[in-house]
Structure 1
Amino acid sequence: MQLTELMDDIPSTTAAALDLFDGLPAAETDFMIGTWHGAELPTEHPMDGLLAASGWWGKQFVDAETVHPLLFPTPDGRALWPMNPARAFSGVPLAARVPSITSLPVAKPIAATRLLWRARSGKARLRTTRYRGVDSATMLYDQLPINDVFRQLSNDSVLGAMDMKGADRPYFFVLRRNASLPVR
């Protein structure tokens, strides 16, 4: 997915992304149900490039209790599989300390070892929380101190702000509704 498909003026700093985020309407939890294709929104965050290098495809919200936060394509590209985020995010502190790691292509090794990384059930929940003064749909990770808060960009896209405990600023991404691939 190309960000230019969704936004005319793409923010490139945290301040600009927060201005955009704060000006958008809240996303309702029911609106989030479905499968979403994602793209990073580079804002000079230490995690910029990490999801793209991993081959991350998006998220799936089955219902309020069952969310797959990290979807990846199967090697043949005909389906998606859910990754356990507790395993995936164990390397995030390293990526923040060693920025060049985000330029390494790790998508193929992740796909090749997907049976080790695979989530057997949803690893997050969907709730409404207050963030930056607005009640909005929020994905709460089950095993990590991370919340992804969503604001609506259009009828089929949202801007997400990943709020991680201990981080001094959010990490931004965009999701667009896309049910073209089954999740297995």
Structure 2
Amino acid sequence: MSSAVGVLALFDSLEPVAPEELVGRWRGAELPTGSRLDGLLTLHGWWGKEVLDPETVHPLLFPGRDGVPRPVTPWPVPLAVLLHAPGLARTLPARLGVAAVLPLLRARRPGARVRTVAHRGVATAAIVYDALPIIDAFRRVDAATLLGLMDLRGLEEPFAFVLSRAPRSSGAAAAR
């Protein structure tokens, strides 16, 4: 397991990202930090993110029944449960429930925008969710890899993830 201190030190050592660098489809993977949210996205099948342009962002992609990544509306996420009882989201009934409702939550419009924000003292590109108190800030690992930190109101410990640029053939474009 990665340590929060180590992940934050790595994040702080990396170069900032320009907003236009986020355009594209990104495959996501959680980077454990000891956060109470570690493993939840993976457990429920999170695929990644897609940025069509700075105003058109699908912050959550999950595979459809056909395996093609599809945008999911982030607003139904029960943040209070995730913050105060994350173990509930790990139970079999919760996993079955999420699997059952995901097809119904397909996004019909974007759920976030890209903005430059000051995060940990550095101006960098971030995905700002429209309906949730979440900002995902990024630093560049290399031309095809980003390290992200989720800033969620009420979550003091860092939640980290890695985005790898997906090949253009990784499924049909979201919401098209």
TM-score norm. by structure 2 comes to 0.89
**Runs of 5+ in structure 2 lacking a partner?**
none
1:1-184 superposed matches below 5 A: 12-77=2-67, 79-88=68-77, 90=78, 92-104=79-91, 109-178=97-166, 179=168, 180-182=170-172, 183-184=174-175
Computed over aligned residues only, the root mean square deviation of the Cα atoms, in angstroms, reads 1.8
Stretch of structure 1 that moved more, 32-41 or 102-111: 102-111
Question: In structure 1, how many angstroms separate the alpha carbons of the residues matched to 2:70 and 2:58?
Answer: 9
Question: In structure 2, how many angstroms separate the alpha carbons of the residues matched to 1:75 and 1:115?
Answer: 8
* Displacement of 1:118: 1.6
Q: How many corresponding residue pairs?
A: 171
CA deviations on 1:120-177 (whole Å, 9 max, x unpaired) are 1001000111111111001000011110000001110100000012321321010000
Contact kept in structure 2, 1:29 and 1:128, CA below 8 Å: yes
CA deviations on 1:33-88 (whole Å, 9 max, x unpaired) are 000000111111010111011101000000000100000011121x2211111112
Contact kept in structure 1, 2:33 and 2:158, CA below 8 Å: no
* Displacement of 1:107: 5.8
- Matched residues, percent identical? 42
Which residue identity does 2:119 align to in structure 1? Answer: Y
Moved over 4 A (4+): 105-109
Which residue identity does 1:21 align to in structure 2? Answer: F
TM-score norm. by structure 1 comes to 0.85
Question: In structure 2, how many angstroms separate the alpha carbons of the residues matched to 1:137 and 1:95?
Answer: 25
Question: In structure 2, how many angstroms separate the alpha carbons of the residues matched to 1:43 and 1:102?
Answer: 18
Question: In structure 2, how many angstroms separate the alpha carbons of the residues matched to 1:12 and 1:141?
Answer: 26
